[in-house]
Amino acid sequence: MKKFYNSALARGLLWQLIGTLIGAGLVTGIRALMGLEALGRFGFSEPAWVFGGLVGTLAFLGGNGVVSDWIKWARGIPTHDHHEDPPGWEKFINVSLDHKVIGIQYTLTAIIVLGLGGTFAMIFRTELAASGLQFLNGTQYNTMMGLHGIVMIVAILLGIAGMMNYLVPLLIGAADMAFPRLNAFSFWITIPAAIWLVSSLFLGGFDTGWTGYPPLSARAPVGMQMFFLAVFVVGWSSILGGLNLLATVARMRARGMTSFRLPIFVWASIATSLISLTATQLIGLSFQMVMFQRLFGMGFFDPAKGGNPVLFQHLFWFYSHPAVYVFILPGLGIISELLPVFVRKPLFGYRWVAMSSLGIALVGFLVWAHHMFTSGMNEYLRVPFMYSTLLVAVPTGVKFFSWVATLWGGKITVPTPMLFVLGGIVVFLMGGLTGPPNATVSTDLHLHDTYFIVGHFHDTMFGGFIFPFFAAIYYWFPKATGRRMNEFLGKVHFWLMTPAFLVMTFGMMRIGLLGMRRRISDYDAALGFDTTHLVLTVAGFLIFTSVLVFVYNLFRSMKKGEAAAGNLWNSRSPEWLVPSPMPAHNYDRPFEVVGEPYDYGLPGSKFVEFAKDK
Amino acid sequence: MAHTNKPEALRLGITIFIFLAVLTVLEFVIAIALNALPLLVVVALTKAGLVVYYYMHIYKLQDESGGEHDSYAYKTGTNRLGLWLFLLSDSFVFGGLLVSRFNLLGFTRPHLNQILGLGVTVVLLVSSFFMNRAESMMAHGDKKGFLTSTLITIILGAGFVIGVVGVEWQLAAAEGIRASSLVDGGIFYMMTGMHAFHVLTGVIFLWIVYRNARKDVYSAERHWGVEAATVYWHFVDVVWIFFYPALYLIGSVI
Ligand SMILES: [Cu+2]
């Protein structure tokens, strides 16, 4: 416990509390002096909460020490290039500059946040098990549902940041990320943000869902503002993480690692980072504009003042559609990365797969208005956005053809990581095939705002992120710890989760087609959806249980897992050619790339060659 | 500009400044006399191109700083890429604001004080000139000249913030353009506020660099901090090159 109280995490949280009270107190004092209403329904007034939240976030960062080197630089004091981490587990709750530690910090936080988002889902899923309102009221239901959405999005952003941070420097042979302090900063700002996100529960909640559309979001309770603030801060984490990754890949590669010898996961990370670097600013801006509309009465989205609520949707979806590719591209990269290892064959069409990630990312910038076919936007926009959206199927199809052709005729072995890879392909295929009906205007007018959409995007999120994320954890766990995770429990996890998940999404799509609207807390018993909803709820709890099995396996294997120091999966990738766990400063001897990354099974082929000495 | 000698570098700075000044006057005249939107766009793009190339030295991104990954030159190359990526990201904020402005106001604009608008634009332009001068002085080892030019830049930058937030905002409010009035007020305060916030951070950045230079932290060969502050400052100027016509010149007054 003493180690916790002395940690950067505990210091940060304490300072966040102090900073929030100071910031909010200041605004309250000023308002009292100006003769404005000083207090609100939730203790402080709304401006005091927002300003307090901002000051608290900055106080967290100042207090936990992640910015102290920068402050020294500003004062003209030089600092050490490297920091040594303490040997035990406490390095994970302290500021570390090591990309591997930060990667694990991200991943563990992602799992915790994933659990939180899952818990919210279980709560409102239970409410939906039967028609009629059982134990939640409307606002509580809406807040749970909105929080489920945004908390899961944050969990996914943390999860992909974890994978990219841990893996990319190892895959390209770098000692660390290009900007280690910025990397630590990007991780630590997500902690205060996560707290603000959850705080919205206690500040009246918010009833808009995760999309936060005005005009509803312009008059929701204070919780709405904390939601906006939290997403804004998480957005900065995503922007700076993307920046760091692009600089790392551009500048820190091993000798001989030309662009078409980069591992596919690195290509996927580049595509993801290009989106998060640029488009994220627009969701930040749109949320900031609603915040200002609420605080200062600016009329951006208020038609009475000449504003336009549809503008919000344009700004919001300009990020939030490409964001979907931020979520799935790293996962699809993991699939392409692991498949050849377990098939013992070269990846089919390497160059096409590498380019398809960039293709998806770039086309993804031109499709956002497919979320707005029913919004009342100018009608002439519908058809171009329909075609641009359908175009995404082309680079996505390239990936599927590559996977199928890679599997064809291979010597397939199926340990747990490969199970999740195969599960990911199947589930993502379901998500992909149910996409075009939503992109096509004529069918979307019927499907919009129904459970069909809910089923569709859960398929894409699970196939594109959840399955590959679990595959990556089972696969690289030995690299991080020197032990492997339990195979039996891994298979229990998979066989519990996958059928339950498919039943759940197919059930959602079925009632969606029959007219079940999404985002509502209750439905008419006469619609006849009670049985299906009960099945969906049971399936949801099975998925939740399977993830508990995973978490148990994860923590048990850290201590008691079977030792695995060598090249467990017989991979060609450089990180497996050195012993596990990975040394603190990565490769003792640099390597040079001398061949193609995925030439599995070709006699005499070689990907990397380590230098004889330093 | 490591290969040019000092007088040459200073002369180039002056030439570019004269071009920019002439284009700004031209822009103003076009808006008053012709109200020709395409011409205004061309002028703004030309100005931005001049600043990005000659003042921000975007071509340095291509510098072959080979050799050891641990060397100062290589690390500076990495830092430079990081800074430009940040500016790319930031320009999406300003782009989003421009989109919002044209979506909400179309080809109308709020009734603002033209003299003051031109005045702060000139102040920022002159500050860019001194910023460029400061950087070339540092690159040629003239610490005293660097400090003087940086100080002038800081004062002009502070003058710009005071001109916009302290004077222009008050004048606009007196004309009835308030944040909470019609949406043209919201857009005006949001755009100028976001930009002024960036100018303010630039002033703070320059002040830090100024203090460090007095402590001899930088040298003619090693002054990444100075370069970063310079490029950031010019970026803020580029933003204003687009914001100024968008707020003051394009369209008809409401
Ligand atoms: Cu979309």
Mean pLDDT, residues A152-179 taken together: 95
Instruction: Please check the confidence at residue A25 and state whether its pLDDT lies above 90.
Output: yes
Q: Any CB–CB contact under 8 A between B180 and chain A?
A: yes
Confidence of residue B77 (pLDDT cuts 50, 70, 90): very high
Q: Would the CB atoms of B187 and A279 count as touching at under 8 Å?
A: no
Dmax (CA) for chain A in angstroms is: 82
Query: CB within 5 A of ion ligand 1: which residues?
Result: A 321
Rounded Cα distance, A180 and B197, in Å:
27
In this prediction, residue B1 carries a pLDDT of 43
- Give the dihedral sign, CA B79/B80/B85/B87: positive
Q: Any CB–CB contact under 8 A between A251 and chain B?
A: yes
Helices of type H across chain B:
6-29, 37-50, 72-105, 114-139, 143-161, 169-174, 183-214, 224-244
In this prediction, residue A614 carries a pLDDT of 57
Rounded Cα distance, A598 and A584, in Å:
27
In this prediction, residue A347 carries a pLDDT of 94
* Cβ neighbours of B80 in A, within 8 Å: none
Q: Any CB–CB contact under 8 A between A326 and chain B?
A: no
Chosen for mutation from B76, B102, B108, B190 (greatest number of chain A CBs closer than 10 Å) is: B190
Residue of A nearest to B226 (CA): A74
Instruction: Please check the confidence at residue A31 and state whether its pLDDT lies above 60.
Output: yes
Q: What is the CA radius of gyration of chain B?
A: 19
Confidence of residue A574 (pLDDT cuts 50, 70, 90): very high
In this prediction, residue B141 carries a pLDDT of 87
In this prediction, residue B70 carries a pLDDT of 79
Q: Write down the mean pLDDT value for chain A.
A: 93
Mean pLDDT, residues B10-17 taken together: 88
Tell me the per-residue pLDDT of A262-314, one tens digit each, with 9 for 90 and over.
999 999 999 999 999 999 999 999 999 999 999 999 999 999 999 999 999 99
Mean pLDDT, residues B122-129 taken together: 94
User: Do the Cβ atoms of A367 and A389 come closer than 8 Å?
Assistant: yes
Mean pLDDT, residues A410-430 taken together: 95
Q: Write down the mean pLDDT value for chain B.
A: 90
Report how many Cβ contacts below 8 Å link chain A to chain B: 107
Confidence of residue B82 (pLDDT cuts 50, 70, 90): very high
Tell me the per-residue pLDDT of A359-415, one tens digit each, with 9 for 90 and over.
999 999 999 999 999 988 888 999 999 999 999 999 999 999 999 999 998 899 999
Instruction: Please check the confidence at residue A107 and state whether its pLDDT lies above 90.
Output: yes
Confidence of residue B4 (pLDDT cuts 50, 70, 90): low
What are the C-alpha distances in Å from B22 to residues B15, B26, B27, B122? 11, 6, 9, 11
Residue A517 DSSP class: B
Which residue has 């500050």 as its token pair?
A: B127
Mean pLDDT, residues A329-333 taken together: 96
In this prediction, residue A279 carries a pLDDT of 94
Is beta strand B252-253 parallel, antiparallel or unpaired with respect to B108-109? Answer: parallel
Contacts (Cβ under 8 Å, ≥6 apart) of A377: A310, A313, A314, A369
Mean pLDDT, residues A173-184 taken together: 93
Q: Would the CB atoms of A315 and B97 count as touching at under 8 Å?
A: no
A345-368 per-residue burial string, b: 16 or more CB within 10 A, e: under 16: bbbbbbeebbbbbbbbbebbbbbb
Coil, strand or helix at B142: coil
- Ligand 1 centroid to Cα of residue A238, in Å, is 19
Rounded Cα distance, A221 and A227, in Å:
11
Mean pLDDT, residues A419-431 taken together: 96
Instruction: Please check the confidence at residue B80 and state whether its pLDDT lies above 90.
Output: yes
Coil, strand or helix at A252: coil
Confidence of residue A583 (pLDDT cuts 50, 70, 90): confident
Q: What angle do CA A168, A171, A173 make, to 5 degrees?
A: 105
Angle between helices B114-139 and B183-214 (to 10 degrees): 20
User: Do the Cβ atoms of A292 and B190 come closer than 8 Å?
Assistant: yes
Q: How far is CA A437 from the centre of its chain?
A: 25
ipTM: 0.94
Q: Length of chain A in residues, anyone?
A: 614
Coil, strand or helix at A193: helix
What are the C-alpha distances in Å from A11 to residues A15, A67, A169, A375, A432? 6, 13, 29, 46, 45
**A22-31, A76-85, A331-340, B166-175, range with the lowest pLDDT:** A76-85
Neighbours of B17 (CB within 10 A): 20
Q: How far is CA A521 from the centre of its chain?
A: 26
The two three-digit tokens of residue A156, written as one number: 């996914």
Confidence of residue B65 (pLDDT cuts 50, 70, 90): low
Instruction: Please check the confidence at residue A516 and state whether its pLDDT lies above 80.
Output: yes
Is beta strand A608-610 parallel, antiparallel or unpaired with respect to A591-593? Answer: antiparallel
Instruction: Please check the confidence at residue A510 and state whether its pLDDT lies above 90.
Output: yes
Instruction: Please check the confidence at residue A159 and state whether its pLDDT lies above 90.
Output: yes
Q: Which residues pair with A42 in a beta bridge?
A: A44
Confidence of residue B66 (pLDDT cuts 50, 70, 90): low
